């Protein structure tokens, strides 16, 4: 599968979100440019939640200058 190469343990670097309603979405394409996975990032109180769709592979979320966490499907990372 072409998308496997691109989704081999990706790391998402997130700069600390300023507001409590922060939300973003990142799409990773496969070799043909077709979306292979989508990562939805949102702040939930004092945590950052990242949910992956289109892939069940593990990924890492790292807050710039802070903590990191690994998982698959959904990763929750405390912000403080």
Q: How many domains does the chain have?
A: 1
Q: What is the CATH number of the domain that holds 8?
A: 2.60.420
What's the confidence (pLDDT) of residue 79? 83
Taking the C-alpha atoms of residue 37 and residue 70, their distance in angstroms, rounded to an integer, is 16
The pLDDT tens digits of the residues spanning 7-52 come to 678 898 988 766 788 899 999 888 888 888 999 999 988 899 999 9
Average pLDDT for residues 43-67, to the nearest whole number? Answer: 91
pTM equals: 0.84
Averaged pLDDT, 56-60: 91
Domain around 63: 3-78
What's 19's DSSP letter? S
Instruction: Answer yes or no: are the C-beta atoms of 50 and 39 closer than 8 Å.
Output: yes
């Amino acid at each position: 599968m072409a998308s496997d190469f691109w989704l081999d343990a990706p790391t998402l670097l997130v700069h600390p979100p300023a507001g409590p309603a922060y939300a973003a979405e990142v799409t990773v394409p496969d070799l043909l440019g077709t979306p292979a996975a989508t990562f939805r990032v949102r702040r939930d109180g004092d945590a950052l939640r990242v949910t992956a769709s289109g892939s069940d592979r593990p990924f890492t979320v790292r807050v710039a200058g802070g903590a990191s966490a690994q998982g698959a499907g959904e990763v929750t990372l405390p912000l403080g």
